[in-house]
Amino acid sequence: KDNLSAILVIFGGTGDLTNRKLMPALYNLVLDKLLPEHFAVVSIGRQDKTEEEYKKDIYESTKKHSRNKIDDTIWDELQRKIHYYRFDFTNAEGFIGLKDYLDMLDGQTGAGGNRVFYLAVAPVYFETIVHGLQISDMASKPDAWSRLVIEKPFGKDLKTARNLNSKILEVFSERDIYRIDHYLGKEMIQNIMVLRFCNSIFESIWNNKFIDNIQISLTEELGVGARGDYYDHAGAMRDMVQNHIIQILSLVALEPPINLKTDSIRTEKQKILEAIEDITPEFLRDNVVFGQYGPGVIDGSPVVGYREELNVPEDSGTETFVALKLHINNFRWAGIPFYIRTGKRLGQSSSNIVVQFKDMPKILYFKDKEIQDPNLLVLRIQPNVGVYFQFNTKDFSSHHEIVPTKMDTSYFSPTQGNTPEAYERLIHDILRGDSTLFSRWDEVEAAWMFADHLIQYREQNESTFPNYAAGSMGPEEAFELMAKDGRKWWQV
């Protein structure tokens, strides 16, 4: 057997994540011949359906969400590996039956006892399932590996995250815990380190001597849709900042690791989180803006405000938008502001990192110019994937104007085009045992330490929500946050 052989056990086999992401990812992994020969998927669900009915349902959703068109031969190859196992995982005794079933499948598939337990369920069930795996002794087998994959949010604050982590550590070792942050699977996020450490022109100016500020924006046109129940307990801080944004920030700012080993990279990321400036009451007052969308118009159609969404209380104080400024207090970044913003129901869906370089002295060409176009390096995460660089040249038509010009490698790709979607990469890495693109516990812990302060501040302060219209780019204060520093958000 090769050591990728395994049974992938999905808790939440009939859920949204499985339908929209995991099954399409598995399909594309088969297409790319990246799944091992000895492999099976066991989808666990509570719904009363036959295996045939289950496969019919996931066929439809895979067809809808896969980045490649479904070829029936490839689908057939995948579907033969999939099994539906009906089981209510809140019933602890049922885990023994599951264990026997998986052992039986080992015989059929030659998976060799290796397991991936994927928790694609609501976070309230994380502990229950881990406990079930513990009492049925499923997590440890001689001569085989067992890995736990856990979706976000990992806890709802520092305390609950620590608690959850210690429960999991009773059953799995840190090495076998894969805390998913699907942003880390995205092509451009992985490219951050490549751009920085494979190009002397970038790395040599990647510091406070040349950079004026860095902006990280993850903006979405989408509202909360059917996820009101989850989202109202999360808000943008837990949903996007504590994980995706903090991860991006640490990759943009980290020092070169001594090698590309998982722990070397994670250690450098962790140092960045430790270097984030202290969060004092003054910091919170001056540098953080929360928002919540009211009714508005998206793509020409009227949409309701957050408080009118399904399963959202009509007086909800949950933030659907955050903008903030922070500093990383180390030698490389002292004095350089990092601006962050994320929100739902904004006028544009776009994820990008903008590195703005310092202005030229107002001497030669910029002598009489109030404002000059700065050099910008934009890392586009989506929907356009790639890099663009803005610099100044002479305007060829007017012969004397200085105009900004763009060099652009990005291309439009609504589902990240031909680049493997995040979940494909992540599932493949889990099977290979490579946890570089997953969060280590101390990173999660540090991210909560940061996020907790902001969440508490929002909860303790009277909000004037809603404070931005759906379809706008967020509350006025978010623009003021920039304007008072003489800067602006780059809409790229």
Rounded (5°) CA angle 174-175-179: 70
Nearest Cα to Cα of residue 402 among 412, 414, 394, 413:
394
Establish if 443 lies at the interface with ligand BG6 (CB under 6 A): no
Q: Nearer to ligand BG6 by C-beta: 220 or 442?
A: 220
Contact 381, 189 (CB under 8 A): yes
Alpha-carbon gap, residue 465 to 197, rounded angstroms: 43
Matching residue, tokens 């999905």: 10
| Smallest separation (angstroms) from ligand BG6 to the CB of 180 | 9
Q: CB of 368: closest distance to ligand BG6 in angstroms?
A: 42
453 annotated as a binding-site residue? no
Picking from 120, 186, 116, the residue whose alpha carbon sits closest to that of residue 145 is: 116
Minimum distance, C-beta of residue 291 to ligand BG6, in the bound complex (Å): 15
> Does the annotation count 244 as an active-site position?
yes
* Nearest to ligand BG6 of 135, 222 (CB atom): 222
User: Least separation, in Å, of the C-beta of 190 and ligand BG6?
Assistant: 14
Catalytic residue among 38, 83, 244, 453: 244
Which residue lies nearer to ligand BG6 by CB, 40 or 426? 426
396 annotated to bind ligand:
no
Q: Cβ of residue 220: shortest distance to ligand BG6, in angstroms?
A: 6
Smaller CB distance to ligand BG6: residue 136 or 350? 350
Residue placing its CB nearer to ligand BG6 in the complex, 6 or 444: 444
Where in 164-223 is the site for ligand BG6 (CB under 6 A)? 220, 222
Residue 351 binds ligand BG6 (CB under 6 A): yes
Residue nearest ligand BG6 by beta-carbon distance: 239
Map tokens 């520093």 to a residue: 485
Q: Any known ligand binding at 369?
A: no
CA-nearest of 212, 209, 216, 220 to 339 is 216
> By rule CB under 6 A, what count of residues binds ligand BG6?
4
Confirm whether residue 56 is marked as ligand binding: no
Strands 39-45 and 82-86, bridge-based pairing: parallel
Q: Whose Cβ is closer to ligand BG6: residue 77's or residue 220's?
A: 220
Output 372 or 415, the one with its CB closest to ligand BG6.
415
Q: Which residues of 173-195 are buried (b: 16+ CB within 10 A; e: fewer)?
A: eeebbbbbbbbbbbbbbbbbbee
Taking the complex as a whole, how short is the minimal distance between the CB of residue 222 and ligand BG6, in angstroms? Answer: 6
**21 Ramachandran zone, left/alpha/beta (phi>0; psi -120 to 50):** alpha
- 220 assigned ligand-binding residue: yes
Burial of 29 (0-12, 13-18, 19+ CB in 10 A): buried
DSSP string over 78-90: HHTTEEEEE--TT
Task: Confirm whether residue 46 is marked as ligand binding.
Answer: yes
Phi, psi for residue 366 in degrees, rounded to 5: -100, 15
Q: At 399, is the secondary structure helix, strand, or coil?
A: coil
For the segment 11-70, give every residue that binds ligand BG6 (CB under 6 A).
Answer: none
Q: Give every CB contact of residue 483 below 8 A, 6+ residues apart in sequence.
A: none
Tell which positions 232-261 bind ligand BG6, by CB under 6 A: 239
88 annotated binding-site participant: yes
Structure token pair of residue 40: 């099976």
Binding residues among 88-127 for ligand BG6 as defined by CB under 6 A: none
- Return phi, psi of residue 353, to 5°: -120, 125
Q: How far is the CB of 138 from ligand BG6 (least distance, A)?
A: 28
The strand pair at 337-343 and 211-219 is best described as: parallel
Establish how many alpha carbons lie within 13 A of residue 419's alpha carbon, considering only the half-sphere containing its beta carbon.
21
- Cα 88 to Cα 138: distance, rounded to the nearest angstrom: 17
Residue 263 touches ligand BG6, criterion: CB under 6 A: no
Our CB check for ligand BG6 shows the closer of 239 and 309 to be 239
**Cα 100 from Cα 117, distance rounded (Å):** 15
- Residue written as tokens 């049922």? 94
- As given in the structure block, the two tokens for residue 362 are 């107002």
3-class secondary-structure state, position 347: coil
Q: Nearest approach, Cβ of 366 to ligand BG6 (angstroms)?
A: 37
How would you label 93-103 residue by residue, b for 16+ Cβ within 10 Å and e otherwise?
ebbeebbebbe
Judged by the rule CB under 6 A, the positions of this chain that interact with ligand BG6 are 220, 222, 239, 351
Q: Give binding residues as ranges.
A: 46, 88-89, 152, 182, 186, 220, 239, 344
Catalytically active residues are 244
What are the binding residues for NADP(+)?
A: 46, 88-89, 152
Binding site as annotated, residues for substrate: 182, 186, 220, 239, 344
